[in-house]
Amino acid sequence: MAPHVVNDQGLNRPGLVGAGQDIERESFRIIDSEVGDHGFPRDQWPIVRRVIHTTGDFDFTRWMRIHPRAIREGCVALRAGRPIFADTRMVQVGLSPWRLNWFGNEVVTPVSRPESQKWAEEQGTTRSVAAFRHCSKQLDGSLIAIGNAPTALAEVCRMIRDEGLRPALVVGVPVGFVQAEESKDQLWSMDLQPSITVLGRKGGSAIAVAILHALFELANQERQ
């Protein structure tokens, strides 16, 4: 069964009350009225809409890609309290604490560990790659959110392809001009791996956060 669609009408959420709720609802209404025929299924549209809300950029309707099982697998993992592994603290601090408290999800940033620089020097690679390699045994069944480091996304793709890594969902949206587009193409080419990405150069940690927030809302709506 497809996840229930969040309509964001009349929600009483901590951290978003009163005028803030009114502004968000009106923003969503404007987006819905202006976007036209976007072609996304009903369960996927809340993800794209929140990204547009975050960026003010309707181009994301052209470049976002959402695997058919991404919403379901992501919501199941969130409700099970699975951890979110992020490439930067920008993702970690951007996630609403009250949403994280809904299901008790921990946000882990492997690159923040002091040892990550030593691992990178020993392996002759970037800190992001070394950090994700080091915690690879913890990634099965988790959510992975990469908004800044294309090398980390490429490494996650390699581990999925070559080592049988099976995260519940990969949100891979690194921004930039070097390896960003290629790493997202790799992710989207993996037919069996549930993923959400943005093709091309656009992306960033704020996009990863927006996608996760939308998933939290969908997951919370399902249990009500």
Mark whether 53 is an active-site residue. Answer: yes
Question: From CA 20, how far away is CA 141, in angstroms rounded?
Answer: 34
Helices (H), the chain: 19-35, 45-55, 60-63, 70-79, 89-94, 97-103, 116-123, 127-134, 150-163, 180-188, 205-223
Q: Which residues contact 143 (CB under 8 A, 6 or more apart)?
A: 74, 77, 78, 82, 83, 84, 85, 105, 167, 168, 169, 170, 171, 212
d(CA 69, CA 77) in angstroms, rounded, equals: 12
| Diameter of the chain measured on Cα atoms | 53
DSSP state of 125: S
Which of 4, 38, 53, 134 is catalytic? The answer is 53
User: Are 157 and 151 a contacting pair, CB within 8 Å?
Assistant: no
Q: Which residues have a Cβ under 8 Å from the Cβ of 202 and sit 6 or more positions away?
A: 57, 59, 60, 63, 175
Separation between Cα atoms, residue 173 and residue 198, nearest integer Å: 6
Active-site residue list? 53
